[in-house]
Amino acid sequence: MATAKVASHPRAGKTMTGAEMVIQVLADEGTDAIFGYSGGAILPTYDAVFRWNEDNPKQEIKLLVPANEQGAGFMAAGYSRVTGKVGVTLVTSGPGATNTVTPVRDAMADSIPMIVICGQVPRAAVGTDAFQEAPVFNIMSSCAKHVFLVKNPDELEATVRAAFHIARSGRPGPVVIDIPKDVQNWEGEFVGEGLLEMKGYQARLDRMEQATLPDRKTKSFLALLKAAKRPLIYAGGGVINSNASKELTEFARKFQIPVVTTLMGIGAIDTTDPLCLHMLGMHGTAYANYAVEDCDFLIAVGARFDDRVAGKPDAFAARAKIAHIDIDAAEIGKVKAVDWHHVGDAGLALRTLTAAGNDEQITHESWLAHVQGLREKHKMAFNTESDVIQPQEVLALINEVTKGDAIVTTGVGQHQMFAAQYFDFKEPRTWLTSGSMGTMGYGLPAAVGAQVGCPDKIVIDVDGDGSIRMNLGEMETCTNYELPVKILLLNNRGDGMVVQWQTLYFGSRFSGTDKTLHQKDFVAAAKADGFKFAERVEARDDLKKVVEAFIKFEGPAFLEVMTDGNAFVYPMVGPGLSYKDMLTGPHISGREDDGFTELDAADAF
């Protein structure tokens, strides 16, 4: 039987400029939004965007111009994270490109698929210190998943297509394409198909994507699970990146295993599910961390045992056997030795294990009862007696209004951790934060990208007065494009997380955190940027009414709440310490023993 011939691209054989080829491939890859700032070296491609939209009104590619190229990078990342598609940033050479270094590194650290297309000086001028020249390939090579410098125009089309393939495949990440201006202006024949030859990468990718769990490994995993009395799932951002949240939930429910998530893994399972113990780690819930201490079988899925989770690796889950599922072989055993592992797609692996256990009767009633006891005894709490508004109560109130259905982005600092602790997330891809890099200024531009990607969803940027300053210019981007982003500013008049560390570990020496130097009137700034809703709340009696109006407002909305500067984030596991050393603060109940006296004798280690 003859194989049907694949229809060629409708524009195959047409003469195009390099810039036109770039935009054609973007459209073919499903790009419907570009975030970027123009400049001399990238003007041909910006012109190609304009002409594409004129000629293709039914396949328009939105072009959003930020205040700064760093904002463009975070917008693309936010768009990518809520849609699951590859975000695209388009910037000029020199400072335009170097301003995207932080978003590129941020996306690499959190495994976010993104394309950054940079203009470059003409090939003949490369290396001459020409105007707005920067060694993008050298700078980005240590930050990105891959970097292309397009020297051969005949390879431009295939390069852009390959960049998308690399960005979204395997462990996702950012890819940078540096395109000299003369390559953009070059004219050639559009082929309409084909990738650059990447034999080594493709071979590794094929092995990963085709990696199925053999029967012997499935049986050995089930043997470990049967032997365990206190199993616990440790889910990371890889679950969300691989779209395996459904499989994780089914696996957890099938075997009735509680789940803790990393900061990046929030939303991998509905946080209101009885099996979800919320976040573990440095600022995880006390009951999640105590469950890690008590478990005897830890099943890590799409997580990497980073220092904010396993600050003291030898003491992390010290009594447990460990299984690890990850798409990246380099993560297996990197921090913590494991007893069982599988390198491959998380969803496929979880489906296989769930199906293999269909005929098994594996129950953990006493463990579930113990975990429920942990949840009740060590529940989250904060100061409810203060006359000053507490940041936790603001977030808890907004959570009551949104009922776990909003997309939430954050800056970095105390407000970030409070948001992780006090918001519910019923679906994956609704929690966006800078995890590994911890980049202040991430929240607002990420919210812009998220709103573009999900125009019908409520998108809330939870920010701090220090973090929002980093990309404050993007407030105007919200109003320029009439994006109904809700910006919640929890203003504690300082860099709260730094102050917390200085208080706990540096003898209250507040070096560099003197906030008498901060004079910003954020509400006035919001009004100047065109926000029709711009309010400040200082009294608790006004909070509920204003919060409800803030969420219901149909356009861009800005709400500043003046909060307690002495409200610290608890629990807290200090740097390099174990969960036994966790500080639960004055309002959360801790435990003085190692917890095992609470376990039934029949289940003792």
CA distance 383 to 586: 8
Of 50, 62, 131, 605, the active-site residue reads: 131
Phi, psi of 94 (to 5 degrees): 55, -120
Please, what is the Cα angle at 295 between 293 and 298, to 5 degrees? 105
Specify whether the CB–CB gap between 195 and 129 falls below 8 A: no
DSSP string, 416-436: HHHHHHH---SSTT-EE---S
Of 20, 29, 69, 474, the active-site residue reads: 69
Of 108, 140, 497, 572, the active-site residue reads: 497
Of 47, 18, 49, nearest to 31 by C-alpha is 49
CA distance 368 to 274: 10
CA distance 562 to 553: 20
Q: Determine if residue 33 is left, alpha or beta; phi over 0 gives left, psi from -120 to 50 gives alpha, anything else beta.
A: beta
Of 85, 181, 321, 486, the active-site residue reads: 181
State how beta strands 321-326 and 340-343 pair. Answer: parallel
181 is catalytic: yes
Of 296, 302, 301, 315, nearest to 231 by C-alpha is 296
Please return the burial class of 100, using the count of CB atoms within 10 Å of its CB with bins 0-12, 13-18 and 19+: buried
Q: Where are the beta strands (DSSP E) in 159-317?
A: 174-180, 187-189, 231-235, 259-261, 276-279, 297-301
477 CB-near residues (< 8 Å, 6+ apart): 64, 65, 66, 67, 71, 445, 448, 483
Specify whether the CB–CB gap between 258 and 371 falls below 8 A: yes
Q: Please report, in angstroms and rounded to a whole number, the separation of the first and last CA atoms in the chain.
A: 62
552 is catalytic: no
CA distance 138 to 134: 9
133 is catalytic: no
Quote the tokens at residue 469. 């300053």
Q: Is 261 helix (H, G, I), strand (E, B) or coil?
A: strand
DSSP structure class, residue 329:
G
CA distance 327 to 170: 6
Of 60, 132, 426, 437, the active-site residue reads: 132
State how beta strands 62-64 and 33-37 pair. Answer: parallel
Specify whether the CB–CB gap between 426 and 272 falls below 8 A: yes
CA distance 447 to 558: 13
Specify whether the CB–CB gap between 279 and 216 falls below 8 A: no
CA distance 228 to 249: 19
Q: Residue 196: how many CB atoms within 10 A of its CB?
A: 16
Furthest CA-CA distance within the chain: 80
69 is catalytic: yes
486 is catalytic: no
Active site residues: 69, 131-132, 181, 497
